Amino acid sequence: MKVVIVGGVAGGATAAARIRRLDEQAEIVVFERSNFVSYANCGLPYFIGGEIEDPEELTLQTPESFFTRFRIDIRVRHEVTAIHPDTKTVSLKNLATGETFEERYDKLLLSPGAKPVKPNLPGADIDRIFTLRTVEDTFKIKEYININRPRSAVLIGGGFIGIELAENLRNLGMEITIVQRPKQLLSPLDSEMAAFIHSKMRQKGVNLLLGRNVTGFRESEDGVAVLLENEEPLSADMAVIAIGVTPDTEIAKTANLKLGLKGSILVNERMETSVPDIYAVGDAVQVKHFVTGEGALIALAGPANRQGRIAADNICGGDSSYGGSQGSLIIKVFDMTAAATGISETAAKKAGLRVDKVYLSALSHAGYYPGGKLMTMKVVFEKESFRLLGAQIVGYDGVDKRIDVLATAIRAGLKATELKELDLAYAPPYSSAKDPVNMAGFMIDNIAKGILKQFYLEDIQNLPRDGSVTLLDTRTSGEFSRGHVEGFVNIPVDELRERLGELDRGKPVYLICQSGLRSYIAARILTGYGYEAYNFSGGFRLYETAVSDRCLIENATACGADR
């Protein structure tokens, strides 16, 4: 059996090694367009910033190491230009010599990946404007920085690459501005969770111009001018376009393989395309979203590796299937960590699901043990069924393990109420006896039992201020004086029982505190005395962060933003 693999990196390289482990006699040839067959995409910004110093650390395997270990023929700088399913051949071009030739296959695996979206804007081909996707892109940016010592950069796009590159260039001492059309960074998060990331970026000196439209570029005396719609141009020494990627599937299209979202390759659960004996994996394929069951594009290394393994199994006569992607992600934002799994509330509502949510602010480990760091967690679930849909966490220590527990719970089909039953490891330096994941389960269980009634950020401005309801802030008077929601009055929770006479028993009471805990206790007190009580989910900390961020985005001058 002869297997030809188009593209290396995560999916193709993983498949090649797996095929060899399953079939010692198979002839395996991998054609890779770049100079590198297997490299760490996710490490590229950290090499530019100097966190990774040795460029060889980016290379996971070389053609020589692949051949020595697996006897796999790796040919870099070879581009597949056409697929001929009728003759089971591919056309190739040696990019080093210009030679063209054809290669026969019994099984063909496509792992062409994705390419950066480069908008068709005036001036986008200026030398000082870069994209970042490959090792070659990385070396080009690194060389430019080393030679020219730029003092400023504009990054167009605020996804993974934009955020990670902003941090690394900022750590080099550069003035950084992120500009993009969407009004938030990191689109898999809901806007109020992204607000914590925005706050951290601004705190670290990164300028955010969100909700702006880039119309083109122009060379200037000092560098490059980034042109904005209805605003003055931004001047910088360099610019990087990082507005996302699109499946690199031109050869699949010309071979008449069935295509899906944004030209991605349609595959079944066995990673088989619409043409017999042709498989596809990685960023170029449309997958089923594990939570919604709908088609999705999820360009992440973990799914690509698993898909490569599954395709290899089936190429070798096995029967493996891919159950779908749920988009689990994590990113470092300076000293902060943001993570998500499943779908956001925004995505769930777009999918037509009836959703509810809980927020909680929790320490990374026991409060009495030194060094605990605060994290904000949001868990999204389906009403009535309490099916877990997704989770988002922004914080510091311990974010990674909580998101992985929640990702596992979603994959295992646990209900949101069952999070309370998870038997998680505890010791004071690592967690609390009631882990944040358990606490989310307790809160959702209280909702299921009618013990907890909530109201949310989107409700707060529409609450009546005409006296028909009671708006109550249960923090201390000092906290209240430093900032509060308009229309709320202050009765600290520890004084509430003695001051019940100040409240009208016939009016619903809407309660808020800093995190949601004290106001929940106050709600239970009031319920015990016959009041109808609702607790604000997320607390004043969430409210203040989200509202301040929205103000900065919508009206930077009024909010005192650094323009």
Tell me: the pLDDT tens digits for 26-66?
999 999 998 877 766 778 888 888 888 877 777 667 888 88
Look at residue 558 and tell me whether its pLDDT is greater than 60. Answer: no
Alpha-carbon dihedral sign for residues 384, 387, 390, 393: positive
> How many whole angstroms separate alpha carbon 208 and alpha carbon 185?
9
Task: Map tokens 């239970």 to a residue.
Answer: 524
Q: How far is CA 109 from the centre of its chain?
A: 27
Determine the Cα angle at 425 with ends 366 and 431, to 5°: 15
Encoded amino acid at 105, one letter: Y
- How is the beta sheet containing 285-288 ordered, strand by strand? 265-266, 285-288, 295-296
Alpha-carbon gap, residue 164 to 480, rounded angstroms? 36
Beta pairing partners, 110: 6, 280
Residue pLDDT, tens place only, 377-427: 999 999 999 999 999 999 999 999 999 999 999 999 999 999 999 999 999
* 287-312 residue pLDDT tens: 999 999 999 999 888 999 999 999 99
Q: Is 311 helix (H, G, I), strand (E, B) or coil?
A: helix
Q: Tell me, what's the pLDDT at 474? A: 98
- 416 alpha carbon, distance to own chain's centre: 22
Please tell me what DSSP assigns to residue 391: E
Coil, helix or strand for 495? Answer: helix
Predicted TM-score (pTM) of the model is: 0.93
DSSP-assigned beta bridge partners for residue 82: 91
Q: Is the pLDDT of residue 354 over 50?
A: yes
Q: Which of 42, 316, 513, 559 is catalytic?
A: 42
Average pLDDT, the chain: 93
Compute the distance between CA of residue 6 and CA of residue 13 in angstroms, rounded to an integer. 10
With H, G, I as helix, E, B as strand and everything else as coil, classify residue 21. Answer: helix
Higher pLDDT: 220 or 270? It is 270
pLDDT at 34: 86
pLDDT digits (tens, 9 = 90+) for 225-263: 999 999 999 999 999 999 888 999 999 999 999 999 999
Residue 42 is among the residues annotated as catalytic for this protein:
yes
Least confident of 34-43, 62-71, 110-119: 34-43
Cα Rg for the chain, rounded, in angstroms? 27
Nearest to 26 by CA among 9, 5, 3: 3
Provide the percentage of residues in the chain whose pLDDT is more than 70.
98
CA dihedral sign of residues 273, 298, 56, 135: positive
pLDDT, tens only, 324-349: 999 999 999 999 999 999 999 999 99
Report the distance separating Cα 152 and Cα 163, nearest Å.
15
Tell me the per-residue pLDDT of 11-26, one tens digit each, with 9 for 90 and over: 999 999 999 999 999 9
As given in the structure block, the two tokens for residue 255 are 């071979």
Q: What is the DSSP letter of 359?
A: E
- In the predicted model, what is the mean pLDDT of residues 159-169? 94
